[in-house]
Amino acid sequence: MDKQKFSKHVELKKIKITDPFWLGETELVRKEVIPYQYEALHDRIEGADKSYAIENFIKAGRVVSALKNGEEVPVYPADKWCYDDNNAHPDAFHGWVFQDSDVYKWLEAVAFSLSDCPDAELEAKADRVIDLVCGAQLENGYLDTLYVINNRSGIFSNLKDFHELYCFGHLSEAAVAYYKATGKRKLFDAACRFADLICDTFGEDKIKGYGGHEIAEMALVKLFDVTENKKYLDAAEFFINERGKKPYYYDTVLGRETVYDNYHYNQAHCEPRKQHEAVGHAVRGVYLYSGMADVAKRCGDDELYSACKKLVENIIDKKMYITGGIGSTVDGEAFSFDYDLPNDLAYAETCASIGFVFFARRMLEIAPDADIADAAERAIYNTVLSGMAQDGKSFFYVNPLEVLPEASHKDSRKRHVKPVRQKWFGCACCPPNLARLISSIGEYCFTENDEALFVHQFIGCEAKAENADIKISSTYAENGRVTIEIRPEKEITLAVRIPKWCGKYTFSLPCEVKDGYAYFRISDEATLEAEFDMQAKLIKCSNRVRENTGKVAVVRGPFVYCAEEADNGKNLQMLRISKEPDFRCDGDTVIADGFREKEDGALYSEWSEAEETPVQIKLIPYYKWGNRGENEMCVYIRI
Ligand SMILES: [Zn+2]
């Protein structure tokens, strides 16, 4: 690591989003998603799966009061992943073991939204939820409603499956965000008390375990950054150091030789420093890698950073869909082997792409890297945005690149692939995760150090960086044009990423281009006009990916395009796009010349040249698919 290259992101509070494209998304989150999710967490959405999330905090609060009063409190089983209506006692915990995290993610999204847009009524709602959360905390700082309600003596007894450290992580992330946004300490203090308990419980000569679902690592670093209390950073480093050590903690704790044979699922198959290939549950993976990058930077740990570099390269070069989706197999919601990127069986969970964006920013804070920033852009503008409907009321968990609704209904191998977004999931990790990323999107634009200010993403905003005020006026999503006005406090370097998708670009000021960034020396107030050519292009996927040989995808600027049945009729597989498609744009729709094969009669017949008729293929941005009811969709088209 070269410490000279270290930078940090500009804090959300110092950024005001003004971008017409992104304001649409952030406003949708503020006006639709956050209020909708508030109702969902309270189980007040008709026809949606019950969340039980708020109900659990209320029940846990009652338990905490009863314990304080020395009353007898019943014990219920804490032995499953999901506790539904039918098998749980009415007073016991309900829902998934990680249900608390949905409340925390909602609170974090609220905090980000309040940073940009103060709202007394929303803040009051959040304060009431925070009261419920803090009311559920045990005297010793422990806070997880499953064990508080069901079984106080089982705490930290199954780190692999029962997401206590995961819920702690989300609690801490929400607490830091809420404290930064409002200055209120109640939730923050609760998170620190839980963190203190964790530091007292885990370590050398203590429990030498680690969470089955990572996030505690990066959350502890966030607490460290705010408090500067080194024990939180040490705890994050401890969790990383213990993971994958032999004998495996998950075996020794159960008092048996290796029985659990799926350590890859939890990225615990070997020590993180030796991990060079992204494996296992994809969300867990990118959350771990984010924590590794955080610790590597703060501890000056070159070996850990080197592993992060190999992991990010493995993802970008061999395991990422063109849409920025990662974790291609439903089997374990996991990374598959290199170049295994099926279109119609894709998993590509929305949360995994969100987690990749977290990881990418942390890597950019260690050293600028245009490939990483490009991949983050691809994830943000495609899979992440696709996760949410245009009205902000329904969500994709899985993000396929090809959908045949009949297959989703009749083929159990594709049951995870939904042809339309769902209202709310009982296992609702993705919607609140989306809300928190979109409402904090400003934090992904810039990183800065003493010498330089980097523009990684082109989102229109006004920001107060440490050494400069910067204003980005952007119609980037529409036409690739960006104006950057900068007022420096001293002479600095402005570094602007040159998106890889653009063949031609112009800058109005002289610059030096190096490794995908254009570097400008700025000594006085300056305005930089940048234009990135948004011409739609045909993109070929490596022929190592078996599914896509002989096919292409259409990309325009940061957006990947797709064909839908609503525009092109059924049987999208019969379409063929012309090699010279003469792209025409109509708003954000792209029209291309192509052909449609005549449907065959017999299942088999002697080969002859297909009969085709010329057609105009209409393509829409991938993130907009599935907003017109159930219909076929595909990203890759034969050429
Ligand atoms: Zn998710």
Task: Walk me through the domains of the chain, giving residue ranges and CATH numbers.
Answer: 26-261 (no CATH), 445-532 (2.60.40), 537-638 (no CATH)
- Helix, strand or coil, per DSSP, at residue 496: strand
Task: With a cut of 60, say whether residue 258 has pLDDT above it.
Answer: no
pLDDT of residue 45: 85
Q: What is the pLDDT confidence band of residue 624, given thresholds at 50, 70 and 90?
A: very high
Tell the residue number behind the tokens 């009749």, with chain if given: 410
Average the pLDDT over 47-65 and give the result.
93
- Largest interatomic CA distance in the chain: 84
pLDDT, averaged across the chain: 94
pLDDT of residue 425: 60
347 CA to middle of ligand 1, Å?
Answer: 11
Q: What is the pLDDT confidence band of residue 108, given thresholds at 50, 70 and 90?
A: very high
pLDDT 10s digits, 138-194: 999 999 999 999 999 999 998 988 899 999 999 999 999 999 999 999 999 999 999
pLDDT of residue 62: 97
pLDDT of residue 430: 87
pTM as predicted: 0.96
522 CA to middle of ligand 1, Å?
Answer: 42
As given in the structure block, the two tokens for residue 307 are 């592993």
d(C-alpha 211, C-alpha 291), whole Å: 13
630 CA to middle of ligand 1, Å?
Answer: 22
Question: What percent of the chain lies above the pLDDT cut of 90?
Answer: 89
429 CA to middle of ligand 1, Å?
Answer: 4
Average the pLDDT over 451-459 and give the result.
96
Q: What is the pLDDT confidence band of residue 503, given thresholds at 50, 70 and 90?
A: confident
Cis bond upstream, residue 74 (ω within 30): no
pLDDT of residue 81: 86
335 CA to middle of ligand 1, Å?
Answer: 14
Task: With a cut of 80, say whether residue 66 has pLDDT above it.
Answer: yes
Task: With a cut of 90, say whether residue 244 has pLDDT above it.
Answer: yes
pLDDT of residue 609: 92
Q: What is the pLDDT confidence band of residue 82, given thresholds at 50, 70 and 90?
A: confident
Write down the catalytic residue from 173, 333, 565, 632.
333
pLDDT 10s digits, 267-296: 999 999 999 999 999 999 999 999 999 999
Average the pLDDT over 373-401 and give the result.
94
44 CA to middle of ligand 1, Å?
Answer: 21
d(C-alpha 427, C-alpha 422), whole Å: 12
Q: What is the pLDDT confidence band of residue 88, given thresholds at 50, 70 and 90?
A: confident
pLDDT of residue 79: 87
Q: Which residues, listed in sequence order, are joined to residue 488 by a DSSP beta bridge?
A: 468
pLDDT of residue 322: 98
Average the pLDDT over 247-274 and give the result.
81
DSSP string, 229-251: -HHHHHHHHHHHHHTT-SS-HHH
37 CA to middle of ligand 1, Å?
Answer: 15
pLDDT 10s digits, 291-315: 999 999 999 999 999 999 999 999 9
Q: Which of 270-276's residues contact partners 24+ apart within 8 Å by CB, and which partners?
A: 270/244, 271/241, 271/243, 271/244, 271/245, 272/240, 272/243, 272/244, 272/304, 272/307, 273/303, 273/304, 273/307, 274/244, 274/307, 275/244, 275/307, 275/310, 275/311, 276/307, 276/310, 276/311, 276/314
Catalytic site residue 333? Answer: yes
Average the pLDDT over 443-447 and give the result.
96
428 CA to middle of ligand 1, Å?
Answer: 7
pLDDT of residue 187: 98
Write down the catalytic residue from 167, 429, 430, 634.
429
Whether residue 135 contacts residue 57, with contact meaning beta carbons closer than 8 Å, is answered with: yes
pLDDT of residue 424: 66
pLDDT of residue 47: 80
In terms of DSSP bridges, do strands 551-556 and 559-564 run parallel, antiparallel, or are they unpaired?
antiparallel
Task: With a cut of 90, say whether residue 473 has pLDDT above it.
Answer: yes
208 CA to middle of ligand 1, Å?
Answer: 28
pLDDT of residue 50: 86
pLDDT of residue 120: 96
Q: What is the pLDDT confidence band of residue 48, given thresholds at 50, 70 and 90?
A: confident
Catalytic site residue 429? Answer: yes
387 CA to middle of ligand 1, Å?
Answer: 10
Average the pLDDT over 557-565 and give the result.
98
